[in-house]
Amino acid sequence: MVQSVVIVGAGQAGAEAAITLRQLKFTGAIRLIGREALAPYERPPLSKGFLSSEVASERLCFRTPEAYARADIELMLRCQVRALAPAGRRVVLDDGRAFPYDACILATGSSARRLNLPGAGLENIFVLRTIEDAQNLRRGLAPGCRLAVIGGGYLGLEAAASASKLGASVTVIEAQPSLLSRSASPLTAKALGQRHRRAGVEILLGETVKGFTGGRSVEAVMLASGAVIPADLVLVAAGGVAEAALARDAGLDCVDGILTDLDGRTSAEGVYAVGDCASSVQYAGGSHQRLESVQCAVQQARRAAAAILGLPRPALKVPYFWSEQFGLKLQIAGLVEPGLVTRDEVVGDLDGDFAVYRFHEDVLVAVEAFNRPRDFIQAQPRIGMRGVALPAA
Amino acid sequence: MVNVHFIQPDNTRQSVEGSEGMTLMETAREAGIPGILAECGGGAICSTCHVHIAAEWIGKVGPAPEMEQMLLELAPGRDENSRLSCQIVLTADLDGLTVTVPEEQSDY
């Protein structure tokens, strides 16, 4: 019988796992160990509202530290786990303290991919993963400053939009020939790029960064094409890397992240992994995938909690994702696996509000709704169905 | 302080002190009320913070606006008194508000 659970990582997935264990009536010990100073908080606003306005950090917290105490969850902040010992079922902290567990949940998240390029250590080159990162970037974002964003994925584009709103002059540099190449249809990516350009954001596609120049602080981004992009600030938003070192050192199977089954079980008995750090089977018979999304983190955390307690698996839901840029809401239901061939159909106006219905062999696999929440909502029960009719307009 | 009461499908009742300006969902989350999942964090994107407002309170709380109605259509077990708790901001007027957590959401 499970009597103690140690959760490594106090982000959204870790917090959700802890709370779910209690809600499922687990009465044993729960330790939630995180290295940041703040109680678990929402990360999506870091590139959106939190970056573009003065929001108090505490507003991002899901609940107060007292709420964890009331739920008898030992929230251990500013604590770094040094080692996981699956054979002895314990975790060891940097300060030497060791905690035994019957079940351990790794929710270590992901870190920003760093660029190993000349000048990458100059001042005013930022990443955006934590509240502290967001505060550092925000301090530099004065009207008229020049920000270069490296990476045209969701994080980079959201930060570009927020910075532009603050009056910064923004250039987005993307190595691929299109924005959002891994995560949206070409139609949506193109329309989003247009919105950015209309708002004055410069977008450079198919451009690789060669390095940075400057004195103490960055002054320009050097591109492989020879172009030089002057910049007072640089945000590196070139994707995330699973925080899997702890798992790897403990001998757990890892590829892109910590490999798990649908319920979060890793290759080590009693050890689970959830959220950004996990490369998981997302549905019965599916392949391993690492998805950085709130919904994925939350649902994996709940499935792992249920599995640890020997309870039935919670129902699987249609994956969804959202982004906000320039006040526009992009909402995506369903998931297009990499390499899947799709037929994409547009409803609405690509220059205004629209939705892209993505089919694979007549099966609706995803809907991308651009300021069309109705399409997003109504699509959800239809994902995976054949012969779905498009709405009239 | 605004007192709100959450009733679980098994009729257990939890009374919680919320504060004005907080949403009903945030109040439930802080109190650890089971069955209010609030997956999207209050962005009105999912429908996992669905509650049934007690009949005597629906007048004060008001009906769901159109977009919320559509989201509620995805919520299992919804009825005419269903609302998303992330869209209800607590005011002094709502002191004593009583809601029921849907059964379908509790055993997720």
Q: Is the pLDDT of residue A393 over 90?
A: no
User: In the CATH scheme, what is the code of domain A114-236?
Assistant: 3.50.50.60
Residue type present at position A314: P
Cα dihedral angle (A16, A20, A22, A27), rounded to 10 degrees?
A: -110
- CB contact (8 A) between residue A64 and residue B30: yes
Write down the pLDDT at residue A42.
93
Least confident piece of the model among A75-84, A146-155, A358-367, B37-46: B37-46
Q: Give the residue from A158, A196, A175, A189 showing the smallest Cα distance to A358.
A: A189
Q: What is the DSSP letter of A123?
A: B
Q: Is the pLDDT of residue B104 over 80?
A: no
Closest B-chain CA to A377: B71
Mean pLDDT over each residue of chain A, to the nearest integer? 95
Mean pLDDT over each residue of chain B, to the nearest integer? 91
Q: What is the DSSP letter of A52?
A: H
Residue A344 sits at the chain B interface (C-beta within 8 Å): no
Question: How does residue B106 score in pLDDT terms, banded at 50, 70 and 90?
Answer: low
Closest B-chain CA to A72: B32
* Nearest CB to A295 within list B35, B39, B74: B39
Residue A85 sits at the chain B interface (C-beta within 8 Å): no
Q: Give the residue from A72, A73, A105 showing the smallest Cα distance to A89.
A: A105
Using an 8 Å CB-CB cutoff, list residues of chain B that contact chain A: 29-32, 34-35, 37, 39-41, 43, 45-46, 67, 70-71, 73-74, 108
A128-155: per-residue pLDDT in tens? 999 999 999 999 999 999 999 999 999 9
Total-model pTM: 0.94
**Chain A positions in Cβ-Cβ contact with residue B45 (cut-off 8 Å):** 320, 322, 331, 376
How many other CB atoms are there within 10 angstroms of residue A243's CB atom?
A: 21
In angstroms, the first-to-last Cα distance of chain A is 56
Write down the pLDDT at residue A154.
96
Task: Give me the residue spans of the domains in chain A.
Answer: 4-111+240-308, 114-236, 327-382
Residue with the bigger pLDDT between A59 and A119: it is: A119
Distance CA A180, CA A188 (A): 9
Residue type present at position B78: R
Q: Do A114-236 and A327-382 fold alike per CATH?
A: no
Question: 3-class DSSP state for residue A382?
Answer: helix
Write down the pLDDT at residue B108.
47
A86-112: per-residue pLDDT in tens? 999 999 999 999 999 999 999 999 999
Q: Is the pLDDT of residue A85 over 70?
A: yes
Q: Is the pLDDT of residue A301 over 80?
A: yes
Task: Give me the residue spans of the domains in chain B.
Answer: 2-106
The CATH T-level fold of domain A327-382 is Enolase-like; domain 1 (3.30.390)
Closest B-chain CA to A300: B39
* Nearest CB to B45 within list A71, A298, A331: A331
β-pair partners for B5: B15, B98
Superfamily of domain B2-106 in the CATH hierarchy:
Beta-grasp domain (3.10.20.30)
* Residues of chain A above pLDDT 90, percent: 90
Distance CA A333, CA B71 (A): 13
Write down the pLDDT at residue A166.
94
Report whether CATH 3.50.50.60 matches the domain A4-111+240-308: yes
Cα distance from B58 to chain A (closest Cα, Å)? 24
